[in-house]
Amino acid sequence: MADLLGSILNSMEKPPTVGDKESRRKAREQAARLKKMEEDERRKKAEFRKKMEKEVSDFIQDSSQQKRKYNPMGKIERSILHDVAEVAGLTSFSFGEDEESRYVMLFKKEFAPSDEELEAYRKGEEWDPKLAEQRRRLKEQAALEETASSQTKKAETCPNSNYRDKYSHLIGTSAAKDAAHTLEANSAYGCVPVANKRDTRSIEEAMNEIRAKKRQKQEDDSGAHSSSS
């Protein structure tokens, strides 16, 4: 019986010492401080949201404003502002290279920014519509000039010259016609005439042969004329 009573007494919690009481007091105080900090944080968030709702409402009602830029703010504040803007039907973006410099811009739906405008803000530049229009025109002009240059180079690579006109002052019109007929290009072979694919003669050799044929024809015509006389 004595052993049973002793076992029960030993299992009972001992009265807290002075050190235990101090630890519990500090824990209660810390929990109270944390609770107060959380309450303060919720209160500040609620106040900030209310302030943003008022500013966003004023922005929407002001017909002279198309966009609004805010000063850099923390991640939580940016998140709240984005949420308020979305609820109000606005478009919002965050810009800035680092966390300390990031800020929010609001845009009315009818004045949503272009990709060029967003790119300027991402680069840390101010958006200038007139300058952007000048750049756009310069790019279009450069594209047109590049296209024209490409077409010119293509024409030089594959000339569409008239063989008959090119050599008529050298071999005569009728002979040039014969040469043009002999060396007539086939579009299936590109810019190189079909005859050139099969004929290994140079142009000079072909022209000499045509001249010889022409002289022979003239001599034959002269002989025939003399015989008839």
Residue 196 has pLDDT above 70, yes or no: no
pLDDT(3) > 80: no
Could you report the per-residue pLDDT of 117-128, keeping only the tens digit for each?
999 899 888 887
- Segment 49-58 shows an average pLDDT of 96
- Write the CB contacts of 11 (distance below 8 Å, at least 6 apart in sequence): none
0.85 surpassed by pTM: no
Res 189: pLDDT: 46
Distance of alpha carbon 71 from alpha carbon 105, whole angstroms = 9
Residue 13 has what pLDDT? 55
Nearest residue to 72 via CA among 46, 107, 117, 104 = 104
Average pLDDT over residues 2-10: 59
What is the C-alpha separation between 79 and 73, in angstroms, rounded?
Answer: 10
User: How many Cα neighbours within 13 Å face the side chain of 49?
Assistant: 14
Q: How much of the chain is helix, strand and coil, in % rounded to 5?
A: 70, 5, 25
pLDDT at 83: 96
Q: Spell out the alpha helix ranges (H) of 62-202.
A: 75-88, 115-122, 129-157, 163-171, 173-182, 194-198
Instruction: For 28-113, give the CATH class.
Output: alpha beta
Q: Which amino acid is at 55?
A: E
- The pLDDT assigned to 187 comes to 45
With a cut of 70, say whether residue 75 has pLDDT above it: yes
Where do the structural domains in the chain lie, given as residue ranges? 28-113, 114-150
- Tokens standing for 132? 């952007």
For 133-156, write each residue's pLDDT tens digit.
Answer: 777 788 888 888 888 888 777 776
Between 69 and 177, name the one with better pLDDT: 69
Mean pLDDT check: name the lowest of 68-72, 77-81, 114-118, 168-172. Answer: 168-172
